[in-house]
Amino acid sequence: MKITGVQVLEFRRRLDGRSWNPSFRWTERRAPLLVIETDVGAVGIGEAWSRQPLIERVLDDLADRCAPALLGRDPLSLTPLVAAVAVREADWVAAASASAIDMAAWDLMAQAKGEPLWRALGGTVGRVHVYASGGLYRDGATLDDLAHEFAGYAARGFTAMKMKVGGLALDADIARVRAVRSAIGDATLWVDAVNQLTPSTAPQWCQALARFDVAAIQAPLAFADVTGMAQINRSLMPVVATEAEHRENAFRALLDADAVTYLQYCLGLCGGFTGAARLDDAASQHRVRTTPQCFSTAVMQAASLHFGAARDNVAAAEYHRFHDHLAACLPAAMRTIESGFVELDDAPGLGVREPALGEQPCGGEVLLHRHVIAQNPG
């Protein structure tokens, strides 16, 4: 099998700007998608993480540097394929590009075996625990609106959920947590503080959150404050971190410092399935569970579900309810949650229907633009 074409697509969806977290207001969502075409007609798809204001850097890297290096190569020879585009570890852009390539190559490998990705990755059951991720701040929304949002997740079958905190004063945010807890009963509740706390304020916040049975806090401090997160994780509340990291030594520093109860990573940044497997193995050796982060399109969502189903050490996969872009491309099995789990089917590969260029599955709110096509001469 040889790579004969590489498409780099830009996903873009307009948003109304009313929803926000403590560090970002969502007026649009963009994502880099990679499609690898082969001489046998098989197509693999992957997605790269990106910092939203800098997405052009990832799109350009995939188009200008990576695509030409992939043409003519065997996508089933994964190590030399990724090595062909590897650069120094400090470059997050190159890490995101390599992650998308790894994801698309695994999609092709599973298709070549006639297996779903979860099985090609070593899984035996195809069942993954998920948590509903939502609870953003929204202009004009009330506590009743927030409670209604989370009651809807529970009604859909979720038994674990996550909401944002840190964007308001403590009392106001605790009122939000109280409303959610009343709506979801004894379901598991995590919070994401989006790096807004400090070592001095974290104890008061964690003690207040614990009164409402919050089970873990994501990103309580700046990601570089490993010592501070270790103190929170050991004495205040289980910590989840860190979604925006790609360097394996940084993940290992969190594990060595006992700074996390749940090691979090994004498959579109940490090296795809291959990199995530190394991180999951390292976490398991420290007796730490892991959780794939996902706030993007159906491609990343499907990848997170397959990986979670394949790895016993994964505690739960994020299932985003605000960033659920291209959800129509997910197969029915991935859109069905029963008692907190998704049961994946046996469709070969990633199982995501490749979105058509120019398709607008959300009433004009979603656009896909072809960024580049590179085809093998001859």
- pLDDT, tens digit, for every residue of 53-72? 899 999 999 999 999 999 99
Compute the distance between CA of residue 316 and CA of residue 308 in angstroms, rounded to an integer: 7
Same domain, 13 and 159: no
Same domain, 101 and 164: no
For residue 53, being part of any structural domain is answered with: yes
For residue 11, being part of any structural domain is answered with: yes
Whether residue 32 contacts residue 7, with contact meaning beta carbons closer than 8 Å, is answered with: no
Number of domains in the chain: 2
Same domain, 182 and 220: yes
- pLDDT, tens digit, for every residue of 160-201? 999 999 999 999 999 999 999 999 999 999 999 999 999 999
For residue 100, being part of any structural domain is answered with: yes
Domain CATH code at residue 124: 3.20.20.120
Same domain, 291 and 317: yes
Whether residue 140 contacts residue 18, with contact meaning beta carbons closer than 8 Å, is answered with: yes
Amino acid occupying residue 365: E
The residue segments making up the domain with residue 90 are 3-114+353-375
Judged by average pLDDT, the poorest of 97-101, 196-200, 261-265, 354-358 is: 354-358
Same domain, 275 and 288: yes
Same domain, 122 and 110: no
For residue 61, being part of any structural domain is answered with: yes
- H-helix or E-strand containing 218? strand 214-218
Same domain, 177 and 257: yes
- pLDDT, tens digit, for every residue of 104-155? 999 999 999 999 999 999 999 999 999 999 999 999 999 999 999 999 999 9
Compute the distance between CA of residue 92 and CA of residue 234 in angstroms, rounded to an integer: 30
For residue 92, being part of any structural domain is answered with: yes
Domain CATH code at residue 57: 3.30.390.10
Same domain, 52 and 142: no
Interval 225-241 mean pLDDT = 98
Same domain, 110 and 123: no
Whether residue 167 contacts residue 173, with contact meaning beta carbons closer than 8 Å, is answered with: yes
For residue 77, being part of any structural domain is answered with: yes
Stated pTM of the model: 0.95
Nearest CA among 70, 68, 96, 64 for reference residue 83: 70
Same domain, 109 and 123: no
For residue 348, being part of any structural domain is answered with: no
Same domain, 245 and 296: yes
Same domain, 294 and 189: yes
